[in-house]
Amino acid sequence: MNERILLSAPDVGEREEAYVVAAMRSGWIAPLGPDVDLFEQEMAARVGVAHGVALSSGTAALHLGLLGLGAGPGTVVVTATMTFVATANAIVYTGAEPYFVDSDAYTGNVHPGLLREALHRLTASGERVAAIVPVDLLGKAADYKEIDRVAAEYGVPVLADAAESLGAHYRGRAVGSLAAASVVSFNGNKIMTTSGGGMLLTDDARLAEHSRSLSTQARLPVTHYEHAEVGYNYRMSNILAALGRGQLTRFDGMLARRRRIRETYRSLFAGVPGVTIFGGENDAEDNCWLTAVLVDADTAGWSAADLGASLRAVNIETRPLWKPMHLQPVYAGARSTLNGQAQRLFETGVSLPSGSALRGTDVDRVAAALQDFVTVYS
Ligand SMILES: *Cc1c(COP(=O)(O)O)cnc(C)c1O
């Protein structure tokens, strides 16, 4: 059997090893230390914001960002239904109620018109909306211009779930700098990794300071243990921050590699009826974290699921797009404003191997398998 080809495996090597070993030898093994501070500074500088708070996961960053913006019991947080469950879970951790909004058909990101409808409905009935949380699906920035317009109309802050979109841009501006605060993830499958980790990025010094405090059990700066509020153990370890710093030195190359992989899929599917590359044509602003295709089964003569099964048979991983939150059993009771697009994307989309760790021979193998499938079934 061929070696398994994964969707987005971690891309780490000797550079990262050197950073991690140096951190270990320095004696800074705790969830604090010089690599944490430098990683925050380097990441904040990269996206062009004043502050970064390095945390144990993207989910933790969402949780603290939401708390900082005032989410809690008695409030509603409006987010995209087309997302990974962490977005919704973090809202629930705060005690707020998640409210799901459906997708733009083209990008899968939150539909600004529906977002406005949702805000109108909620505020008209006197409910307190603590935040809007757009999600940059598969590495394409949401429509922040329109989202900001809605947010300003209703006086609600925006927390960007940019867990998938580090390195992407929106109208020339870097993801991470597009909202009151932004969350990125360094989970093993994301565009860069610290094995597990995340960061809250913001220009707001008070939000950053408060989040940093909450991430270390809200310990007050006195020598005895003194606490005035309930905190969390969410700080990133110095060893993992060192791994992240190693990754950052290679980030542009990893990004370029993912773009080239998308180009390969683009040319491969160019003449295939019923198949489109998900998310549009603007690869230059997209970080190309995952490349997915949408399959119109009536035109193509085969479905996204057929394609997935065929690749699985030759040990190549694929995945459907996220199953929307309003279709998840755990969120069955949640309120939403829907247009059916997220469900359609879930049913017709399939993500293909896209990781920067893929070797040329791996991409060739995937391309050959896709070519074989298309030739046989079309
Ligand atoms: C990965 C991801 C998260 C969670 O990040 P973790 O670091 O795994 O906690 C949140 N939102 C989205 C959209 C994600 O893809």
pLDDT tens-digit series, residues 167-193? 999 999 999 999 999 999 999 999 999
Q: Ligand 1 centroid vs 188 CA: distance in angstroms?
A: 10
Binned at pLDDT 50, 70 and 90, residue 213 comes out as very high
Q: Ligand 1 centroid vs 245 CA: distance in angstroms?
A: 20
- Cβ-in-10-Å burial (0-12, 13-18, 19+) of 367 comes to middle
Residue with structure tokens 């700066």?
A: 221
Please indicate whether residue 234, judged by its CB atom, sits closer than 6 Å to ligand 1.
no
- For 82, phi and psi rounded to 5 degrees? -85, 85
Q: Ligand 1 centroid vs 233 CA: distance in angstroms?
A: 18
Binned at pLDDT 50, 70 and 90, residue 88 comes out as very high
Q: Ligand 1 centroid vs 190 CA: distance in angstroms?
A: 8
The per-residue pLDDT for 41 is 98
Q: What percent of the chain has pLDDT over 70?
A: 100
Please indicate whether residue 161, judged by its CB atom, sits closer than 6 Å to ligand 1.
yes
CATH 3.40.640.10 is held by the domain 14-249: yes
Binned at pLDDT 50, 70 and 90, residue 79 comes out as very high
- For 158, phi and psi rounded to 5 degrees? -110, 130
All CATH 3.90.1150.10 domain ranges in the chain, comma separated: 251-377
Mutate to test the pocket of ligand 1, among 77, 159, 185 (most ligand atoms within 8 A of CB): 185
All CATH 3.40.640.10 domain ranges in the chain, comma separated: 14-249
Q: Side chain identity at 334, as an amino acid letter? A: A
* Its pTM surpasses 0.85: yes
Please indicate whether residue 356, judged by its CB atom, sits closer than 6 Å to ligand 1.
no
Q: Ligand 1 centroid vs 58 CA: distance in angstroms?
A: 5
Please indicate whether residue 59, judged by its CB atom, sits closer than 6 Å to ligand 1.
yes
Return d(Cα 297, Cα 294) in angstroms, integer. Answer: 9
Mean pLDDT of 10-30: 96
pLDDT tens-digit series, residues 331-374? 999 999 999 999 999 999 999 999 999 999 999 999 999 999 99
Please indicate whether residue 108, judged by its CB atom, sits closer than 6 Å to ligand 1.
no
Q: Which pair of structure tokens corresponds to residue 314?
A: 């030759």
Mean pLDDT of 192-203: 98
Q: Which distant-in-sequence residues (6+ apart) come within 8 Å of 65 by Cβ?
A: 159, 181, 183, 200, 202, 207, 211
- CATH architecture for residues 251-377: Alpha-Beta Complex (3.90)
Counted residue by residue, the chain has a size of: 378
187 CA closest ligand 1 atom index: 7
The per-residue pLDDT for 30 is 86
For ligand 1, atom 14, name the residue with the nearest CA.
163
pLDDT tens-digit series, residues 286-306? 999 999 999 999 999 999 999
Please indicate whether residue 185, judged by its CB atom, sits closer than 6 Å to ligand 1.
yes
Return d(Cα 30, Cα 354) in angstroms, integer. Answer: 33
Return d(Cα 305, Cα 236) in angstroms, integer. Answer: 38
Mean pLDDT of 306-318: 97
Contact in structure between 55 and 70 (CB atoms under 8 Å): no
Grouping H, G, I as helix, E, B as strand and the rest as coil, residue 189 is coil
Please indicate whether residue 204, judged by its CB atom, sits closer than 6 Å to ligand 1.
no
Q: Which helix (H) or strand (E) holds 97?
A: strand 97-101
83 CA closest ligand 1 atom index: 13
The per-residue pLDDT for 1 is 62
Mean pLDDT of 78-98: 98
The per-residue pLDDT for 2 is 82
For ligand 1, atom 6, name the residue with the nearest CA.
58
220-224, 228-232, 237-241: which has the minimum mean pLDDT? 220-224
Return d(Cα 112, Cα 173) in angstroms, integer. Answer: 19
The per-residue pLDDT for 378 is 75
Please indicate whether residue 163, judged by its CB atom, sits closer than 6 Å to ligand 1.
yes
pLDDT tens-digit series, residues 260-296? 999 999 999 999 999 999 998 888 899 999 999 999 9
Of residues 130, 111, 134, the one with CA closest to residue 337: 111
